[in-house]
Amino acid sequence: MTYLVAFGIIFLLAVIVIQIGKLSELAAKIRGEEVVERASNDTQGKALMVFMVVFLVGCVTSAIYYKNDMLGYGPLTSASAHGFELDHIFNVTLFFTGIVFILTHIVLFWFAYKYRSLDKRKALFFAHDSKLEMIWTIVPAIVMTYLVSTGLIAWNNIFPTLTAEDKHIEIEATGYQFAWDIRYPGADGKLGNKDFRLIDPATNSLGIDWKDEASVDDIILGGSDKIVLPKDSLIKVRITAKDVLHNFYLPHFRVKMDAVPGLPTSFIFTPVMTTKEFRDQLSKYPEWQIPSDPNDPEGPKKWETFEFELACAELCGKGHYSMRRLVEIVTRDEFNTWLAAQKPYYASNIRGTEKDPWDGKKLFPYEIKARGFELRSAVARYVDDTTGSMSNIINLDHIFYKTGVSDLNSEISKHELDNLVTLMGRFPRLRVELAGHTDNVGDAAANLLLSNARADKVKTYLVEKGVASARMIAKGYGQDAPLESNDTPAGRRKNRRTELKILSK
Ligand SMILES: [Cu+2]
């Protein structure tokens, strides 16, 4: 409807202009061409002067009026360290271009007025003026040289070459239609390798190489999770894209870099304000004191709901707008707590599946730590339980054997076994059964023997470490007590297990 009205207004204006044109033609015929033309030149010359004043005053007042909405002014000062320098360069450029903008407009309209055709005035014609040529070549050249060189110096400052000594956090942003995958390096501080040949839309959309041990603790944020970063830390963002050109844009941090498929780019910046501090800064301005939701006047104020954001600044397709992500800057301590609470992608999606190159071969430090805690609390819960309703069976997930034989894969099983030794010491009244189970592959009698032998091996290890033999029974159940159906590889994997059955506490 609005479009229709706007179109109607434009159409009517066009009709009016045409009618006025016809009218002046008619008047010219009646009064004589020359007189009318002179009068019209005079009016147009004066009208152009009026236009110039209205236009320039409009430009300046609107710039002043909207100043606080522009990045770099009012409350929207830079939230990153390098941003102040960038804002300064923008202001210097604005100063010079502003002078040129105002002067050229004054001259343009003044000339149109001053030299409007009146009487029989003749135009002055000259073919060449060296002085004039010098002025309008040398002055812009000096200004341009100054602007370009200060810009280059700033650019070099913003993009330092980071060495291994520069403590920084490197994260990775991969743009695609229409979202960002944000990857954090995890506890080791290193992002694992990627290879596009490993891309699998279902389980590995980034093509991360799980054989690279740096990958296994990498964290990939969920699609709507906030990007959390610490204040006062050097952050390097590796920027890349999977399909078309995108652009990694953090307006409040003056960070903007193309995300190009096949060509990694990066940006280095240091946030200097937490989200909370930035909100406090906004709260000092009346325009941020209004309700954030106009329909809810009692609700939170606009400054209270402010969030930093990541936008794609490249028109990359019709879902382009949905690449917006929220960014939260927190203190270093809050960041560490947040990071520690994130689960590595590998741990929740790859571990123990057929894509896992480390299955039964290696345990990673974060798994050992988490598992130790899990095992201790499971036993403690059972021991402290007074209701009697808790199961007395705890699965010993991290005990592994060599394939087909009873020998322990002690290199990776020792963590779980050593935890058991500690537990038996901490709860001296504990009596347990170590129960071996197999899947249904192969002969049932052989499976029974194998499970018995494996349970024995666990017991032997514990006895060697000082646990009294009388407190433990080793027993094999073969394939007779499956947890799940043996029809699938995942089911069979669950059924091959060693259990800790608490007999008395
Ligand atoms: Cu995009």
**Portions of the chain given CATH number 3.30.1330.60:** 365-504
**CA 327 to ligand 1 center in whole angstroms:** 17
Question: Can you name the residues that pair with 329 across neighbouring β-strands?
Answer: 229
Per-residue pLDDT of the chain (505 residues), as tens digits, is 788 899 999 999 999 999 988 887 887 777 677 777 777 888 888 999 999 999 999 999 999 999 988 888 888 999 998 999 999 999 999 999 999 999 999 999 998 888 887 767 777 788 888 999 999 899 999 999 999 999 999 888 888 777 777 788 899 999 998 899 999 998 888 888 888 888 888 888 888 888 888 888 888 887 788 999 999 889 999 999 988 999 999 999 999 999 999 888 999 999 999 999 999 999 899 888 888 888 888 888 889 899 999 999 999 988 899 899 999 999 999 999 988 888 888 888 887 777 788 877 777 777 777 777 888 888 888 888 777 777 888 888 778 777 777 777 777 788 888 888 888 888 888 888 888 888 888 888 888 888 888 888 888 888 888 888 888 888 888 888 888 888 888 788 788 888 888 887 7
Using DSSP, state whether 174 is helix, strand or coil.
strand
Q: Looking at residue 471, what DSSP letter applies?
A: G
**Portions of the chain given CATH number 2.60.40.420:** 169-350
**CA 181 to ligand 1 center in whole angstroms:** 12
Residue 81 CB burial class (10 angstroms; 0-12, 13-18, ≥19): middle
Question: Can you name the residues that pair with 181 across neighbouring β-strands?
Answer: 174
Of the candidates 415, 339, 330, 331, which has an alpha carbon nearest to the alpha carbon of residue 370?
Answer: 415
Q: What pLDDT, on a 0 to 100 scale, did the predictor assign at position 88?
A: 92
60 CB neighbour count, 10 Å cutoff: 12
Amino acid type, 150: T
**CA 323 to ligand 1 center in whole angstroms:** 6
Return all residues near 489 (Cβ < 8 A) that are at least 6 apart: 354
**CA 291 to ligand 1 center in whole angstroms:** 31
Return all residues near 44 (Cβ < 8 A) that are at least 6 apart: 112, 116
Q: What pLDDT, on a 0 to 100 scale, did the predictor assign at position 369?
A: 78
**CA 87 to ligand 1 center in whole angstroms:** 25
Return all residues near 329 (Cβ < 8 A) that are at least 6 apart: 79, 228, 229, 230, 231, 271, 273, 274, 275, 278, 308
Could you give the CA distance from residue 133 to residue 151 in angstroms, rounded to a whole number?
Answer: 27
**CA 227 to ligand 1 center in whole angstroms:** 17
Neighbours of ion ligand 1 (CB under 5 A): 246, 312, 316, 323
Of the candidates 234, 176, 214, 175, which has an alpha carbon nearest to the alpha carbon of residue 344?
Answer: 214
**344 neighbors 385 (Cβ within 8 angstroms):** no
**CA 183 to ligand 1 center in whole angstroms:** 17
DSSP strand E in 319-464: where?
Answer: 325-330, 393-395, 431-437
392 CB neighbour count, 10 Å cutoff: 16
DSSP strand E in 136-234: where?
Answer: 169-176, 179-184, 219-220, 227-230
Residue 184: left if φ>0, alpha if ψ -120 to 50, beta else—which one?
A: beta
- Integer CA distances (angstroms), 501 to 392, 460, 466, 475, 504, in order: 6, 17, 19, 10, 9
Could you give the CA distance from residue 435 to residue 430 in angstroms, rounded to a whole number?
Answer: 16
Amino acid type, 369: K
Residue 165: left if φ>0, alpha if ψ -120 to 50, beta else—which one?
A: alpha
Tokens 């899947």, residue?
Answer: 439
**CA 171 to ligand 1 center in whole angstroms:** 18
Q: What pLDDT, on a 0 to 100 scale, did the predictor assign at position 275?
A: 92
Q: What pLDDT, on a 0 to 100 scale, did the predictor assign at position 450?
A: 86
Tokens 């061409």, residue?
Answer: 33
Fold exhibited by the domain 365-504:
60s Ribosomal Protein L30; Chain: A; (3.30.1330)
Whether the model clears a pTM of 0.95, i.e. scores above it, the answer is: no
- Scored b (16 or more CB within 10 A) or e, 231-266 reads beebbbbbbbbbeeebbbbbbbbbbebbbbeeeeeb
**CA 454 to ligand 1 center in whole angstroms:** 55
Ordered strands of the 235-241 beta sheet = 219-220, 179-184, 169-176, 235-241, 265-269
The CATH superfamily assigned to 169-350 is Cupredoxins -  blue copper proteins (2.60.40.420)
Return all residues near 263 (Cβ < 8 A) that are at least 6 apart: 240
Q: Looking at residue 40, what DSSP letter applies?
A: H
